[in-house]
Chain A
């Protein structure tokens, strides 16, 4: 296909592929197909595997959440024993963060970044496959704990020390058996996977951009993933280091966290949150990234304040490295440290606020189409606003002295993790499923899914704030009837059931639409970034010819040759 044969349209030349490659539907036997997925180094297949794998874990960890909720529905409930309860909430938190949040977000990065920057694959395809399999192996090791050790009774040797695993609860003296080992080894393995994936994301966004894609023409999604990947490198590594220390303590008789030998329980708390806080931004940044693509498309407007968005993302990345001790206001730091971390934590509100304002400004004056991805994104904006504000409440240390480790905190972080991230994951799946499979998800089911999940979400997590005000601590398998927490917990549990109904609708939608969905065509949403310039699903080489871009919205330029975006840059 030679360039010269193509029509010239106001400075933009289109390359039309008339021979769209055939859909990659399964040809050959099941075994051959399976084999092709196992050995693949294609970023799209790996991305899809990441996503499917995380969705499986979402259901598993969601069922664990349901066990938690059933147990807490009424005071002095005996649905599960204390031992099992403690294992279940630890597994729920660990799974949700490390085997749902991380892999699904990395999966989207894998799938989208090369397509969006006009590349044919990630920078290191084999490292990519390696990272995926490490993450997957981590999940298998973690869940093997259920049957490892003493077998299924009492939930086997599943970890039972909470997702932040404070020392010395993890030392040999207080954690006999191997439950802590499963946790550590699993996170070490998946941590290597995450670091590998992050290296790949950085190298890809920096080195694989197509012609004309300068850094300031990168789609915001790629920018945000770049910052997220850097955060993974500097945040997951400390966790890896701390895990190594824990292993040395447990297997080689070391004393890092051994309070009898002069070691310190306190330093683990620091190490964990030096990882833990940036980690929550690692999780939320991709949600921002999705919103930055979806909101403009459905508002029919360019993102408001692209440079400000980039700056805000970088600022969030930097500030979030200096706020970890807001999880530690009650460990007895000096008043000066408490004040310092109060301030640094609050400062994150400024760049985050810029993002929220820019989204509202993007919608302002647009023609908003409320397709399913968009309603999830709108839900996200409001819920994230509220969740961020409860974060600000917690950042005031005298208030946190009261609310720390209460259900108010649990409500705060589920508001972000579910109301923010999970909503945006749903939005992203509705938005990019057509690209990945060539078929649309059912809109009607999507809307039902949204409303059912929204109602369930608000019943659960709005009401969860109140037991926190009433002094209900987290991590308790039961509570006294005279505290007045009972009715509220019942409402919360009902809400959680409604959420699971919503999730089931979603799962049904995925399966149903995969086989019966409407054909999507290359560009079902009339969007502007490069992934919509190829077929759905894209061929393994992504683009028949390497694209050349002249602005941030290459497809806008194609669609509006008389009003090129580049004139505004």
Chain B
């Protein structure tokens, strides 16, 4: 898992920034509490607020180490977003403390006190200077925020594609992912493999994203923000993971019943490992004599209408390519681990893992099931 050492380092910086400000706000609160009856209420409120912030801070600390955290420096796009986030959070927290502090002060200081006479306070109707000042200051803040964001937008979105980049076409399906490697001439599903990219000699992966049916969205938080996959339209994004490891993600645009089970994995491998993996993927399917019976079942059933197995008559495109099914750790877009037992249960009735999936139960006999599973298990 590519999460050790990285973003955690940045947490203290965040804390140092926020902590003194917090103390500042509560100091002001205590000055102005004055001699006013429900001190106890204020104290318990402050305790509650402190408790809440501690809880929030600890959970954010815990957030940073999550496998799908957006606080990540594992690839350039994610890291760019991360530093921009820190900047934006700092500004918004600052605004919140100042405006919230003024508000708190007003609410506490100017409450009607029991001993007050019945007269109305002095009526003030407004002041153009003041209005002007709190129009101009926010405009300035907005300009600063905009300029920093614009820089990042152009840097990430308009990045040049280096010649040695890996190209992948990713196509969303209800509810699985198809990955085509046009330069290598093979297709796989659900688990994307990409080479690690050394920041000194980057070998990023450029993805062309589209969809075969409805809108999906490709999101691996530790590597990059998301990009939608829209039918009849091609979007692009890129990643350049710095470290090998397995990165989790999932479909991020509601796409139907099983949107929740459209999970995604990215395996970042050292170049040599990646090349070896790619060479294996390019091969036709293994043809093992012992699995002949299963293959016959597979080819005589309608499996071949939806699935492709390179080197056989199966060339369906509606479901995932099964040529190297065994090279994947999961089946059905992460709905289950890829074990022979799970495979058998899946083919018997996909509903046990994914009740809305587009693969029908094929009503195979137990014997056929065993044979097909045995055959699929040879597709290394």
Q: Flag if A367 contacts B156 (CB, 8 Å).
A: no
Question: Which single member of A264, A299, A350, A397 contacts B232 (CB below 8 Å)?
Answer: A264
CB neighbours (8 Å) of A490 from chain B are none
A483→B70 CA distance, assembly (Å): 13
Closest to B145 in A: A346
Q: Flag if A330 contacts B225 (CB, 8 Å).
A: yes
Closest to B155 in A: A398
A560→B122 CA distance, assembly (Å): 13
CB neighbours (8 Å) of B78 from chain A are 402
Question: Which single member of B124, B156, B174, B356 contacts A302 (CB below 8 Å)?
Answer: B124
Q: Flag if A365 contacts B122 (CB, 8 Å).
A: yes
Q: Does A124 contact B (CB under 8 A)?
A: no
> Which stretch of A233-241, A380-388, A532-540 is in the interface?
A380-388
Q: Does A81 contact B (CB under 8 A)?
A: yes
> Which stretch of A161-169, A201-209, A286-294 is in the interface?
A161-169
CB neighbours (8 Å) of B236 from chain A are 332
Q: Flag if A332 contacts B227 (CB, 8 Å).
A: yes
CB neighbours (8 Å) of A353 from chain B are 134, 138
A552→B52 CA distance, assembly (Å): 42
Q: Flag if B219 contacts A396 (CB, 8 Å).
A: no
CB neighbours (8 Å) of A483 from chain B are 66-68, 248
> Are A471 and B70 also in contact (CB < 8 A) when A366-B110, A367-B121 are?
yes
> Are A363 and B110 also in contact (CB < 8 A) when A304-B125, A470-B63 are?
yes
Describe A's contact surface by its main secondary structure.
helix
> Are A350 and B138 also in contact (CB < 8 A) when A331-B228, A339-B153, A484-B62 are?
yes
> Chain A interface: which size bin?
35 or more
Q: How many A-B residue pairs have CB under 8 A?
A: 288
Closest to A471 in B: B68
Q: Flag if B96 contacts A385 (CB, 8 Å).
A: yes
Q: Does A60 contact B (CB under 8 A)?
A: no
Q: Does A463 contact B (CB under 8 A)?
A: yes
> Which stretch of B98-106, B269-277, B339-347 is in the interface?
B98-106
Q: Does B188 contact A (CB under 8 A)?
A: no
Closest to A386 in B: B96
Q: Does A343 contact B (CB under 8 A)?
A: yes
CB neighbours (8 Å) of B121 from chain A are 299-301, 365-367
Question: Which single member of B63, B134, B251 contacts A357 (CB below 8 Å)?
Answer: B134
> Are A169 and B111 also in contact (CB < 8 A) when A331-B230, A398-B80, A398-B152 are?
no
Q: Flag if A342 contacts B62 (CB, 8 Å).
A: no
CB neighbours (8 Å) of A469 from chain B are 60, 63, 69-71
Most interface-central of A166, A339, A363, A396 (chain B CB within 10 A): A396
CB neighbours (8 Å) of B215 from chain A are 166, 168-169, 265
Question: Which single member of B95, B130, B153 contacts A361 (CB below 8 Å)?
Answer: B130
Q: Does B146 contact A (CB under 8 A)?
A: yes
Q: Flag if A367 contacts B112 (CB, 8 Å).
A: yes
Closest to A356 in B: B99
Closest to A161 in B: B254
CB neighbours (8 Å) of A350 from chain B are 135, 138-139, 142
Residues of chain A in range 362-402 having any CB-CB distance to chain B below 8 Å: 363-370, 378, 381-382, 385-386, 389-390, 392-393, 396-402
Q: Flag if A307 contacts B126 (CB, 8 Å).
A: yes
Q: Flag if A265 contacts B230 (CB, 8 Å).
A: yes
Q: Flag if A471 contacts B219 (CB, 8 Å).
A: yes
Q: Flag if A166 contacts B214 (CB, 8 Å).
A: yes
Q: Does A426 contact B (CB under 8 A)?
A: no
Q: Does A477 contact B (CB under 8 A)?
A: yes
Chain B positions within 8 Å of A, measured between CB atoms, are: 52, 55-56, 59-60, 62-63, 66-71, 77-78, 80-81, 84-85, 88-89, 92, 95-96, 99-100, 102-103, 106-107, 110-112, 116, 120-127, 130-131, 134-135, 138-139, 142, 145-146, 149-150, 152-154, 156-158, 174, 209, 213-215, 217, 219, 221, 224-228, 230-233, 235-236, 248-261, 263, 334, 355-356
Q: List 20 A-B contacts (CB under 8 A).
A: A83-B356, A86-B256, A174-B214, A259-B232, A300-B121, A339-B150, A354-B135, A365-B110, A366-B121, A367-B120, A368-B107, A390-B92, A398-B80, A400-B225, A405-B217, A471-B248, A477-B260, A478-B260, A484-B66, A488-B59
Closest 3 CB pairs of A and B: A401-B225, A471-B68, A476-B260
